Amino acid sequence: MKVEAGDYVLFNYVGRFENGEVFDTSIEELAKEHGVYVEDREYGPMWARIGVGEIIPGLDEAIVGMEPGEKKTVTVPPEKAYGMPNPELIIKVPIEEFTKAGLEPQEGLYVMTDSGIAKILKIEENLVSLDFNHPLAGKTLVFEVEVIEVKKSEADVEQGGALEDS
């Protein structure tokens, strides 16, 4: 049965940059092998409803038409992934915002703010530049995807295979 928009699909994936470097995967051994393992994450095939925006558009579109057991490699441009970096999402805040909280800002670190997660881009004398763009914004991504199972409704999705957002 070919995947159609609205179907629930169980799939594995490996996400790579164009240079072949793995940035994410649903396969635990590969995550460990490539240094992207996250300890408190659950690895294994993931469920997603296709065609409704649960996963990035380029991967969503690529899965439509696939069948269980089928594997595909798809290149996803930034416009169909996490978009292009938006300069308006880079803001400067007074360094006191960190020091009064007892924190010492360091370039390259990610910090949780009231507005979400941001990367510390630059530290100047009295200002810290925070980048609220998604870390994969502006990147072309290459996904290897394997469809394992297709269900027509959420009720058909087996217990233990909770639906997850990407």
- Reported as a single tens digit per residue, the pLDDT across 36-66 is 999 999 999 999 999 999 999 999 999 999 9
Tokens standing for residue 10:
């169980």
CA distances from 24 to 31, 39, 41, 97 (A): 7, 13, 12, 32
pLDDT, tens only, 5-31: 999 999 999 999 999 999 999 999 999
Note the pLDDT of residue 130.
Answer: 97
Q: What is the pLDDT of residue 158?
A: 59
* 104 has pLDDT over 60: yes
pTM of the shown model: 0.83
Same structural domain, 57 and 92: no
Q: What is the CATH number for 34?
A: 3.10.50.40
The answer as to whether 110 is a domain residue is: yes
H-state helical runs in 1-122 = 28-33, 57-63, 96-99
Q: Is residue 146 part of a domain?
A: yes
Q: Which domain holds residue 60?
A: 8-82+136-156
Answer whether residue 55 is part of any domain: yes
d(Cα 42, Cα 27) in Å, to the nearest integer? 10
